[in-house]
A = this chain, B = another copy of it.
Amino acid sequence: MSDKLTDETRETGDVLLPKFGADGLITGVVQDVRTLEILMVAFLDAEALTATQETGFAHFHSRSRSKLWKKGETSGNTLKVIEMRIDCDQDALVILAEPAGPACHTGARTCFYRKVEGASLAPVRT
């Protein structure tokens, strides 16, 4: 199959055909299914995607530890997957999830707790 045909199939087709990058990863954006707040961004390889689909809980590939990582495996703050959506070229996922607790390792509800104001950051009031 030519690259062009593959690209078209990816965009218009009804087959999951993730376009993993040279690093073997696609981007995962976790969104709270209830509030639609974006909770975190992490990366999935084929193993993490399979584990997420098989267990119903979000798994990622830890780039720093080079291994499969179930979100919340130590903290208990798991993410129950309600729905997953994939983008046009199939290199990014939106994971609509029910969080069991704060999604950020800092204890914040979301990793995006600061807004950018020029060269400074300010807390987001939510």
CA of A94 to CA of B124 in the docked complex: distance in angstroms?
A: 12
Structural contact, B85 and A124, CB atoms closer than 8 A? yes
Answer whether A121 and B87 are a contact pair too, CB < 8 Å, given A27-B27, A93-B116, A94-B112.
Answer: no
Give the residue name and chain of the B residue nearest to A105 (CB).
Answer: B88
**Nearest CB of chain B from residue A20's CB, rounded to whole Å:** 14
CA distance A12 to B92 in the complex (A): 28
Total A residues in contact with B, Cβ cutoff 8 Å:
41
The one of B13, B84, B85, B121 in contact with A14, judged by C-beta atoms closer than 8 angstroms, is B121
Contact (A31, B27) CB under 8 Å given A13-B121, A14-B122: no
Residues of B within 8 A of A93 (CB): 116
Closest CB in chain B relative to A62 CB, distance in Å: 13
A-B residue pairs in contact (CB < 8 Å), sample of 5:
A14-B122, A41-B92, A86-B112, A87-B104, A94-B112
